[in-house]
Amino acid sequence: MKNKHFYVWAAPIAVFVIIEALEYFHWRNLWGIYALLLAAVIAVVWSVIGIAGIKKTAEFFLIVTTPVFLAIGTFLFLLFLESWWLPQIIALFTSIMIGIYLENIYLRRYNPEKYQEYSLANISSFMNLFLFYEISAALFGFIVFLRFEVWAASLIIIAIAFFITHQNLWIVSPDFTKNWLYIIIVPFVAGELFWVMNFLPSSIYVNAFILAVMYYIVMGLAKNQVLRIINRRIFFRYAYIGGISLVVVLATAKWA
């Protein structure tokens, strides 16, 4: 068990060091960026293999989805930031989140008496929402600054939403396959919203935040429906949180 626990913090430390190295290559050497991104992904996959193994292939891919996409999303997002201190905070935050996620996987498998029910579901939901924001902002940036095709970016968002929605529902209910329709509906809603966001005269960060809030609402309602605990109070709670968040952001955003 002690040997297994080594992997819990090996990946976060490696990811933090690799992200810090990104500042050196910042758009100067694309091959260097690709190499660092690959190294971060390998570090995360290696740690998940060390903790959970790969005997159950489907379960392995569902477990590894969130930390890998978070590492990729952070890399892409940081490429558009020009300040020095904000990338440091995001790099530290990403590493801590990956560490907490791996710690919960370790506890659930090897020390279940210390594992808190739904803790892995909660942390993975938060990480998925954050990585969804990062990847969305990066794709909006590619469209604005690099003339990336909107339809291609929309397909990428649908694919990302498909994997994280699948992972979210699997974490809360392993037998969710009876409700497979949500894995199709939620990603396509995300893709349609992403397409619409491109017509708003707002920044890439505002667009990504709006998209993340909408995904939070749709995914939250779908998750509660799968758990069969959906009711009017839960519906209005998501509507209230989402509505307030959108009003604050839209009221304070700079419009072109």
pLDDT digits (tens, 9 = 90+) for 113-159: 888 878 888 999 999 999 999 999 999 999 998 889 999 999 999 99
pLDDT at 228: 80
**Averaged over 15-21, what is the pLDDT?**
89
pLDDT at 109: 86
Closest CA to 15 of 48, 40, 42: 40
Determine the Cα–Cα distance for residues 129 and 161; give it in Å rounded to an integer.
10
169: which 2 tokens?
Answer: 């529902």
pLDDT exceeds 70 at position 80: yes
**Averaged over 211-230, what is the pLDDT?**
88
pLDDT exceeds 80 at position 63: yes
pTM exceeds cut of 0.85: yes
- Of the listed ranges 10-14, 174-178, 213-217, the least confidently predicted one is 174-178
How many other C-beta atoms lie within 10 A of the C-beta of residue 163?
Answer: 18
Q: What is the DSSP string of 124-186?
A: HHHHHHHHHHHHHHHHHHHHHHH---HHHHHHHHHHHHHHHHHHHHHHH-TTGGGGTHHHHHH
pLDDT at 20: 84
Residue scoring higher pLDDT (201 or 107)? 107
**Averaged over 64-92, what is the pLDDT?**
89
pLDDT at 116: 85
pLDDT exceeds 60 at position 60: yes
pLDDT at 128: 96
Q: What is the rounded average pLDDT for all residues in the chain? A: 87
pLDDT exceeds 80 at position 65: yes
Kindly list the domain boundaries of the chain, sorted by start residue: 1-115, 132-256
pLDDT at 179: 67
